[in-house]
Amino acid sequence: MSTDERLVRVDGLRKYFWENDSILDRLFGEEPVAVRAVDGVSFDVYEGETLGLVGESGCGKSTTGETLLALQEPTEGRVEFDGDDVYALGRDGLTAFRRDAQVVFQDPFSSLDPRMTIGEIVCQPLDVHDVATGTERTERVRTLLERVGLSADHLDRYPHEFSGGQRQRIGIARALALEPEFLVLDEPTSALDVSVQAQVLNLLEDLQSEFDLTYLLISHDLSVIRHSCDRVAVMYLGEIVEIGPVRDIFESPKHPYTRALLESVPRATTAERERDRETLSGDVPSPRDPPSGCRFRTRCPAVIPPDDLDLEQAQYRAIMDLRERIERRDVSLESVGGDRIAFDDGGVPERDVPAFVDALADRLLERELPPTHRDIVEEALAALAGVDWDEAAEVLRQRYESVCERRNPDLGEERHPVACHLYGLAADGSENGDR
């Protein structure tokens, strides 16, 4: 049963992994590059609840869980467990924290040592923390195995003798050996057959009620999240973009990314075959160089245009996509127009510029634009005729820059907060509540 007592507080958590940071890289003058796996995440977990952490693969969910447990060293931020700063704990304090906070790993095949028997695996936390005597340890291990649905006769068997679902049960028994208060469940069913997933989820639910456990459930499977969680936090590219009660998230999602995730879930009824879907354009940006402002803006179907633009969202999105390609220099200029247009290192001759612009516009623009906006786009493409990438991008930036790229929206502290400028602008369209 969830309470109003906060057990875990995560505040501004960041975890960066550095590339080009070896001694050899420094000798050759390479600049370190930060991979921003987790970038300013904040949330609370309350006693007795299950908080779901959901998002696409690579968004930073598992790294958040590992860093929260001090299995990864944080780059910045603070994690409190029962009021204590986890990262400020001494050796004894960290040992006590390890007893109270455990993890169930994603892959039950690689998280169990194949050289150890099941009894040794479940007993290992008791040995490390010097809990109970030899006979008491054996009895506790037998009880745990039976509680997770295995037989005590399995004590002397090895992991390869068990199925995936049975191995995950062993991992759960190991996590419960020290009678923790808090469990991080890192994709606990993703490596299992569908027929076994429900059994493991039901087991976790029963154990939570029996042992008064608190869960952080990490998953990309929305059906698992909906079935098991009290609240949900949605992650995108290292940041939390929406958090709230599970019913609110699934029935009244606010963030365009959350809506797109929910739209991607297959429907069981044929009545919804013709429903409108909010599809996402483009690829997930790299955490090495995330977009400015709102990180979802490069794929968002509802980017906020400047107030005075008379463009449909699809037309504005087409111009934004074009500008993104120009800024990445992801356009092949040499092949434009084929043999009809001469191209060298300095660009194209002045006489060929109109033909170059027309050919490039036909190739890159997926939408028809009103004449005024077509003229601005062609001005930018004309800069590319002289291979002036910066000028081309600046022409488009000056006219079409959005609040979504200027400012990172604040998540806020409401019951159902969302990090989106659609909810962070005043009624007159001016910027409000952004950071």
| Tens-digit pLDDT profile for residues 29-88 | 677 789 999 999 999 999 999 999 999 988 999 999 999 999 999 999 999 999 999 999
Write down which residue in 199, 219, 252 finishes a domain: 252
Structure confidence by residue, pLDDT tens digits, 359-391: 899 888 878 899 999 999 999 999 998 999 999
174 with 69, same domain: the answer is yes
Domain assignment present for residue 194? The answer is yes
Give the domain extent around 44.
6-252
147 with 27, same domain: the answer is yes
Q: Which residues pair with 214 in a beta bridge?
A: 182
pLDDT tier at 16, thresholds 50, 70, 90: very high
Q: Quote the pLDDT of residue 274.
A: 54
Mean pLDDT (the chain) is: 88
Q: Enter the tokens of residue 174.
A: 């190991």
Q: Which residues pair with 41 in a beta bridge?
A: 13
Domain assignment present for residue 307? The answer is no
246 with 366, same domain: the answer is no
Domain assignment present for residue 392? The answer is yes
Domain assignment present for residue 295? The answer is no
Q: Alpha carbon of 226 to those of 43, 165, 181, 212, 276: distances in Å?
A: 19, 21, 23, 20, 22
CATH code of the domain covering residue 176: 3.40.50.300
Write down which residue in 231, 252, 273 finishes a domain: 252
Question: How far is the C-alpha of 241 from the C-alpha of 256, rounded, in Å?
Answer: 10
Of 109 and 264, the structure prediction assigns the larger pLDDT to: 109
Domain assignment present for residue 228? The answer is yes
Torsion of CA 253, 259, 262, 267, to 10 degrees: 110
Residue 433 has pLDDT above 70, yes or no: no
Question: How far is the C-alpha of 420 from the C-alpha of 408, rounded, in Å?
Answer: 8
Domain assignment present for residue 156? The answer is yes
Residue 127 has pLDDT above 80, yes or no: yes
N- to C-terminal Cα separation, the chain: 36
Total number of domains constituting the chain? 2
150 with 243, same domain: the answer is yes
231 with 340, same domain: the answer is no
Q: Enter the tokens of residue 377.
A: 């786009």
Structure confidence by residue, pLDDT tens digits, 289-316: 899 999 999 889 889 998 888 889 889 9
Residue 273 has pLDDT above 80, yes or no: no
Domain assignment present for residue 410? The answer is no
Q: Alpha carbon of 54 to those of 101, 224, 355: distances in Å?
A: 20, 10, 48
196 with 329, same domain: the answer is no
Domain assignment present for residue 84? The answer is yes
